[in-house]
Homo-oligomer: A and B are copies of this chain.
Amino acid sequence: MMDLTEHELSSDTLYDGGLFKVKRDVVRLPNDNTSHRIYVTHPGAVVIVPILANGHIVLERQYRYALREAFIELPAGKIDANEAPLHTGQRELLEETGYTGTDWVKLGLQHPCIGYSNEVIHTYLARGLTAGAHQRDPDETLEVFELSFSACMDMIKNGEITDGKTIIALFLAEKYLLDHGN
């Protein structure tokens, strides 16, 4: 394998907005030419596939302003400073849906946007779910509902679910359940 590494020569922060920063780095390319890379830094996130005892998946419908559209997606959220990803998953599932789970399985990592963001999304399966009261902020408006696994797959195939993290998490869950039984 070739060494494809681009080496940092200098780094500037163009924008620092709390949620994310925009950086512009000058880099030395493998062919020794100089170029620059503009990218977003992000604290990382967690997405959860919550599977109920009846096999249904807990989903959300949420407005995403960047795309001016409501999306069907799995519960997810950003990792707080010094927070373990599993704890982020348990916290976000409770806050957004009210569910707590007794059985958590790590399904892997996904990188949503390797061209211009360093975000990594930790992906978990959550089972042994008990319903409770959600802890959503008054400004956080979302709908929670459940759907069979096969209906989720149909909605991916027919384009009703297009959110990347949700498609990947359901795909990893499908493979995990096939390999390990339900």
Contacts and interface: CB of A to CB of B under 8 A. Distances in A.
A170 B80 CA distance: 32
A129 interface: no
Copies of chain A in the complex: 2
Given A15-B22, A65-B27, A143-B4, A71 B116 contact: no
Given A14-B17, A164-B168, A171-B167, A111 B65 contact: no
Interface string A141-182: 111000000000100110100111101100110010001000
A30 B141 contact: yes
Is chain A's interface secondary structure helix, strand, loop, or mixed overall? mixed
Interface of A: 1-2, 4-6, 14-15, 17, 19-20, 22, 24-25, 27, 29-31, 33, 35, 37-42, 45, 61-67, 70-71, 73, 108-120, 138-139, 141-143, 153, 156-157, 159, 162-165, 167-168, 171-172, 175, 179
